[in-house]
């Protein structure tokens, strides 16, 4: 009884993400197709996250988070992910899944290792859907065992795994909000100054424009006219029910607009936006 309750509590974050994807798919016809598939991906990641909880944690060695990830732990779930994508994924991803079906397990492991190498270099954009889907729940699990970071602004990359942020999140505090960055790999959030580019460190607010759309009241583009990168921001003071990981994906129209203006995203999300 107690063990079951603990597992349910551990999985609640993934359950919330799955429900949010379903809700947004119903409310956002323009993003329904992407969100319907992403909901299935989140369900698969939730199953994987629960399975990882049954594994013994690596011994504390002072190593960086990425160095403690054992790709063998998630390798058994590779085939199941290929099944999911072939049956429900968009045509391009389904084609990639069929091509990977013929690869040896050793090649799947190499793909996972390559993703870890990409996260080791913040200058390198990660674009591997399959590896990110499998490694993200594992990375989040390990991140949850690390001691919390002291308050105050951290660096330009995740303090636990050195990956770039996928989004900014504004959490309510007092009469306003405090800005955090959401890691694209281990999903850690770390506090970050409101007026500061998370890619190049630009501090001049006149060079840090923000753009929004009427139909996406809680989301906006936070751009930098110095490095021409941007992140999307999820404002929890406007929508307290938002799930940043999911809402960021749902606002793909902002990514399309930002690209048309000549901006590049700090790190694309799992769905490739």
| pLDDT the model gives residue 64 | 78
Residue 220, phi then psi, degrees to nearest 5: -155, 165
pLDDT digits (tens, 9 = 90+) for 63-75: 678 888 999 999 9
Q: What percent of the chain clears pLDDT 90, i.e. is strictly above it?
A: 70
Q: 252: left (phi > 0), else alpha (psi -120 to 50), else beta?
A: alpha
| pLDDT the model gives residue 125 | 53
Stretch 184-190: mean pLDDT: 93
| pLDDT the model gives residue 4 | 43
Cα–Cα distance, 223 to 265 (Å, whole number): 9
Q: How confident is the model at residue 162 (pLDDT cuts 50, 70, 90)?
A: confident
Question: What does the DSSP assignment read for the chain?
Answer: -HHHHHHHHHHHHHHHHHHHHHHHHHH-GGGHHHHHHHHHHHHHHHHHHHHHHTSPPPPP-S--HHHH--GGGTGGGHHHHHHHHHHHS-HHHHHHHHHHHTS-HHHHHHHHHHHHHHHH-TTSPP--HHHHHHHHHHHHHHHTTSPPPPSS---SS-TTT-PPEEEEEEEEETTEEEEEEEESSS--EEE--SSS-TTT----GGG--EEEETTEEEEEEEE-TTT-EEEEEEETTT-TT--HHHHHHHTHHHHHHHHHTT-EESS--TT--
pLDDT digits (tens, 9 = 90+) for 115-148: 888 765 555 555 589 999 999 999 999 998 876 5
| pLDDT the model gives residue 61 | 57
pLDDT digits (tens, 9 = 90+) for 208-245: 999 999 889 999 999 999 999 999 999 999 999 999 99
| pLDDT the model gives residue 98 | 94
131 neighbors 115 (Cβ within 8 angstroms): yes
Q: How confident is the model at residue 193 (pLDDT cuts 50, 70, 90)?
A: very high
* Number of other residues whose CB lies within 10 A of the CB of residue 70: 11
| Residue extents of the structural domains in the chain | 2-143, 165-265
* Number of other residues whose CB lies within 10 A of the CB of residue 127: 13
More confident residue, 91 or 175: 91
Q: Which two tokens stand for residue 66?
A: 């990425």
229 neighbors 200 (Cβ within 8 angstroms): yes
Q: 123: left (phi > 0), else alpha (psi -120 to 50), else beta?
A: alpha
């Amino acid at each position: 009884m107690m063990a079951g309750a603990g597992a349910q509590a551990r999985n609640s974050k993934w359950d919330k993400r799955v429900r949010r994807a379903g809700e947004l798919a119903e409310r956002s016809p323009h993003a329904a197709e992407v969100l319907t598939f992403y909901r299935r991906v989140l369900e698969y990641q939730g199953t994987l996250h629960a399975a990882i909880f049954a594994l013994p944690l690596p011994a504390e060695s002072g190593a960086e988070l990425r160095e403690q990830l054992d790709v063998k732990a998630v390798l058994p779930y590779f085939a199941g992910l290929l099944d999911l994508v072939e049956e429900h994924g968009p045509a391009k991803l389904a084609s990639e899944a069929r091509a990977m079906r013929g690869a040896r397990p050793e090649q799947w492991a190499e793909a996972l290792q390559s993703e870890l190498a990409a996260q080791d270099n913040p200058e390198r954009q990660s674009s591997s859907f399959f590896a990110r889907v499998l490694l993200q729940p594992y990375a989040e699990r390990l991140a949850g065992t690390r001691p919390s970071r002291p308050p105050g602004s951290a660096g330009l990359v995740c303090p636990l795994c050195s990956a770039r942020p996928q989004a900014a999140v504004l959490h309510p505090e007092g009469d306003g909000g405090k800005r955090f960055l959401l890691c694209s790999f281990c999903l850690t959030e770390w506090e970050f100054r409101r007026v500061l580019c998370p890619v190049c460190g630009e501090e001049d607010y006149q060079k840090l424009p923000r753009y929004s759309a009427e139909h996406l009241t809680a989301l906006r583009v936070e751009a930098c006219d110095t490095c021409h990168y941007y992140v999307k921001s999820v404002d929890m003071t406007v929508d307290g029910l938002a799930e940043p990981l999911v809402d960021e994906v749902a606002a793909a129209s902002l990514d399309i607009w930002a690209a048309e203006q000549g901006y590049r995203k700090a790190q694309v999300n799992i769905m490739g936006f």
